[in-house]
């Protein structure tokens, strides 16, 4: 098969900017440049008009009002503004937040900051497929609970949490509901009203928009959410995020969201087909294969697999022409097992033998077939090498303690 190498299958980390998005941004770098806060001349008016159009596009995709969309530098800043901003606004009245063990570090780390400031943080477990029980969320809410934070779609295993059920329980108990929806926006249905969401973190570079821009949905009524800003200096974005708005990036964000909304259903079906194609080829040729995450409640382009009796870092290094991620992240020089897979109860051997595969908009069936063959070849090679070092014979996959991978499909 003829494919252009290397092949990019790491779309949960970032996505290439869609050429249609680049085209929409181009005039605002030069010809139509301007500061959206400059209200005294046509350059500022054009910039402000472009920003507000992008804000309307993003709000429409969420079922929100444009004034409820606050532009930030990305989902990490949005998460920090949501959690720390809400906590500072309610200091002295509330002192407890609830989150989940599989959250992104951009949520877990701000929660640790709150703990150092005297707040109490309840971190809920998930089941073996990565789902949190809405009833467990409700049970964790106390009289002094301020906020519950549960991500919409997991960045490692693609699991889609039951946002509507969780949001309804939060609304019943009078606590704020925040969700990190960076991976979900444009890929699965996301409506802030249906989810009873009060704060939603978003990022452009996860849906073929430019890096460096994101947004935070901040509910304006019923209830009106109050946040303390994280930075000051000009009162931009309803006073919640001071700083000159990056007009070209915001325009790109709006265009990316509009495109994703238009194409979401057809693209989800296409990505789901490619994912299933890859999974079936691997499952049909490899033993000791374990699917991580729920087989159905997951992002259409996500596949997270563990390969028993294989070192994940060695497998990742062997796939030089296929860009994927390992389930392990390296902090300094020390390999750190994935906290997400650990929370699922996977043995350390399987946690360290995982690959996160993110299929995206520009991938083809030929690329998927090539990637499947390369993964198969290298898994078998690494296993045979390990068997020889162990004295010969077939590896028993005894460390996995897991059944064969289930059927996967949306």
Catalytic residues: 330
The continuous run of DSSP H or E covering 108 comes out as helix 105-116
Strand-pairing partners, residue 358, are 10, 302
Query: For residue 91, what are the β-bridge partners?
Result: 94
The H helix count followed by the E strand count for the chain is 11, 15
- Write the CB contacts of 374 (distance below 8 Å, at least 6 apart in sequence): 319, 321, 322
E strand segments, 199-301: 199-203, 214-218, 289-291
Query: What count of residues does the chain have?
Result: 410
Using CA atoms of 324, 330, 332, 336 in order, give the dihedral in degrees to the nearest 10. 180
CA distances from 360 to 73, 151, 182, 211, 300 (A): 23, 21, 15, 16, 9
């Amino acid at each position: 098969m003829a494919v252009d190498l290397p092949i990019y299958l790491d779309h949960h980390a970032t996505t290439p900017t869609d050429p249609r998005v680049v085209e929409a941004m181009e005039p605002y770098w030069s010809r139509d440049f301007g500061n959206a806060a400059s209200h005294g001349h046509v350059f500022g008016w054009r910039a402000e008009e472009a920003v507000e159009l992008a804000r309307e596009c993003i709000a429409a995709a969420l079922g929100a009002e444009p004034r409820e969309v606050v532009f930030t530098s990305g989902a990490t800043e949005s998460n920090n503004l949501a959690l720390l901003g809400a906590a500072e606004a309610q200091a002295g009245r509330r002192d407890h937040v609830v989150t989940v063990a599989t959250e992104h570090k951009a949520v877990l780390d701000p929660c640790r900051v709150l703990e150092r400031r005297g707040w109490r943080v309840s971190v809920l477990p998930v089941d073996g497929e990565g789902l949190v029980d809405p009833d467990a969320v409700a049970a964790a809410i106390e009289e002094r609970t301020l906020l519950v934070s549960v991500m919409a779609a997991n960045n490692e295993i693609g699991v889609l949490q039951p946002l509507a059920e969780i949001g309804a329980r939060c609304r019943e108990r009078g606590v704020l509901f925040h969700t990190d929806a960076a991976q979900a926006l444009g890929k699965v249905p996301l409506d802030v009203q249906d989810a009873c969401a009060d704060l939603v973190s978003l990022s452009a570079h996860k849906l073929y928009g430019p890096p460096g821009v994101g947004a935070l949905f901040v509910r304006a009524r019923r209830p009106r959410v109050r946040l303390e800003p994280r930075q000051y200096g000009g009162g931009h974005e309803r006073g919640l995020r001071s700083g000159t708005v990056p007009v070209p990036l915001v325009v790109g964000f709006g265009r990316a969201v509009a495109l994703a909304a238009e194409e979401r259903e057809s693209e989800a079906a296409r990505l789901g087909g490619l994912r299933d194609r890859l999974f079936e080829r691997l499952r049909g040729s490899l033993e000791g294969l374990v699917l991580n995450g729920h087989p159905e409640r997951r992002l259409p382009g996500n596949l997270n697999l563990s390969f028993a009796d294989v070192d994940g870092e060695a497998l990742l290094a062997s796939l030089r022409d296929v860009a994927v991620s390992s389930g392990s992240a390296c902090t300094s020089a020390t390999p750190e097992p994935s906290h997400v897979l650990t929370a699922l109860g996977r043995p350390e051997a399987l946690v360290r033998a995982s690959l996160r595969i993110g299929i995206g908009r520009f991938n083809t069936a030929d690329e998927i077939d090539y990637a499947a063959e390369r993964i198969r070849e290298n898994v078998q090679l690494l296993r045979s090498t390990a068997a020889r070092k162990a004295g010969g014979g077939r590896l028993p996959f005894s460390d996995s303690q897991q059944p064969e991978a289930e059927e996967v499909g949306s």
